[in-house]
Amino acid sequence: MAEPADEADFDDAPGQGLRKIIHVDMDAFYASVEQRDDPALRGKPVAVGGDGPRGVLTTCSYEARKFGCRSAMPSVTAKRLCPQLIFVRPRFPVYTAVSHQIRDIFRDYTPLVEPLSLDEAYLDVTADVKGIGSATRIAELIRARIKAETGLTASAGVSYNKFIAKLASDQNKPDGICVVRPGEGAAFVAAMPVKRFHGIGPRGAERMKQLGIETGADLAAKDIYFLREHFGSQADYLYRAARGIDLRQVKADRARKSVGAERTFDHDISSGAALREQLERIVGLTWDRIERSRSEGRTVTLKLKLKDFTGLTRARSLPKPVRDRNQFAEIGHALLEELLPLPQPVRLMGLTLSQLIEDEPEAPALVRSASQLSLF
């Protein structure tokens, strides 16, 4: 298992021509922002999310994780594990603003930044645009600037591909760094539980366990024919991942496919008037996100989840992008009216704008330094 390493360990290592990838992951991002902004929350178990009977944790602080709380856990379960848990409502505009601040730091070191969410991103620092000379040093400088400029901590993984860099960023959390050098990737992956592989969820990990696959080494022992028989189209990815191979590039222009918002109600709603009122709130949330992301789109989709978890959707596409909030709300309400009256009460409602034409600023051209990174 790879340990944190200083940059000297990497400057003399073989492997010229390989890419240098950093994966940065903020530590308990939403909860850390809340603890930063409210000193009374510091050092205490904090959950970001609703505390109602149907509430779900968006994330929680490390103090709460010690009790077994985790993201996506029902709030009632989290409160049972940690009775002193403090719930805080999400403040997405604040998280988004901090995320943009962090991305600005990333872009000081490379134009090749691929955000995965508000709190994590891949960076390709193969071209040493600032002449720093070490990918490990770049990662440390970024982490130090994030802490100095936002008051938050980040963990980083440094390696020669995206798959291993992402695994590595989780290795020494919180506020840590892990570097996996060329030649160490296969051994690093072999010791890793497959449940930590990106794309393998709890159900997938359980299915693998039934087939005798619990670690990367177990997975690497299976040939491609076995993997295709049991995992179909995912087989090629699994075969390469088990060997520490990932050919994907960091894509700075990774397109957003949709912008939306949804809400799970504290109590099922059957009244048409109440549903219209809730829809208006969701229109406001969604349009706020659309404006912040500077997105334009042609398709509006309404999603409902009924009491028995049955899903209903209605969509409308326009020849031109939705022009403003009023038109967006008008389409959303028209879609709802098409579904009323409903056969059952509604537990969740969501609204999405898709077929986007984004107005994001262009990334600057990649400037190659005369001095390439020697290795890490």
d(CA 277, CA 333): 10
pLDDT at 267: 87
Q: Give CA angle at 325 (283, 101), nearest 5°.
A: 80
d(CA 176, CA 123): 17
CB 270 within 8 A of CB 346: yes
Helices (H), 82-201: 92-106, 135-150, 162-169, 185-190
The distance of Cα 134 from the centroid of its chain, to the nearest Å, equals 26
CB 184 within 8 A of CB 2: yes
- 124 in a known ligand binding site: no
d(CA 81, CA 268): 26
Residue 44, helix vs strand vs coil? coil
pLDDT by 10s per residue, the chain, length 376: 344 444 434 443 434 458 999 999 999 999 999 999 999 999 999 999 988 887 889 899 999 999 999 988 889 999 999 999 999 999 988 998 999 999 999 999 999 999 988 899 999 999 999 999 999 999 999 999 999 999 999 999 999 999 999 999 999 999 999 999 999 999 999 999 999 998 787 888 999 999 999 999 999 999 999 999 999 888 999 999 999 999 999 988 656 678 898 888 888 999 999 999 999 999 988 998 888 777 889 999 999 999 888 889 999 999 889 989 999 999 999 999 999 999 999 999 999 999 887 443 333 333 333 333 433 4
Dihedral angle sign, alpha carbons of residues 337, 55, 117, 234: negative
Tokens (6 digits) for 14: 């073989």
- 119 in a known ligand binding site: yes
Question: Using N-to-C axis directions, what is the helix angle for 325-339 and 272-292, rounded to 10°?
Answer: 150
Consecutive H or E run containing 213:
none
- The letter for the amino acid at 92 is F
pLDDT at 255: 63
**Cβ of 15: how many Cβ atoms within 10 Å?**
14
120, 140, 229, 360: which one is catalytic?
A: 120
pLDDT at 209: 95
Q: What is the CA radius of gyration of the chain?
A: 23
What's the pTM? 0.71
The distance of Cα 210 from the centroid of its chain, to the nearest Å, equals 28
Give, in order, the Cα–Cα distances in Å from 304 to each of 260, 288, 308, 333, 334: 13, 21, 11, 13, 14
Give the residue among 60, 47, 16 at the shortest CA–CA distance from 183.
Answer: 16
Q: Is 358 a catalytic residue?
A: no
Domains of the chain with CATH codes: 18-171 (3.30.70.270), 187-241 (1.10.150.20), 258-358 (3.30.1490.100)
DSSP code per residue over 167-193: HHHTTT-SS-EEE--TTTHHHHHHTSB
d(CA 1, CA 225): 29
d(CA 129, CA 109): 7
d(CA 28, CA 116): 15
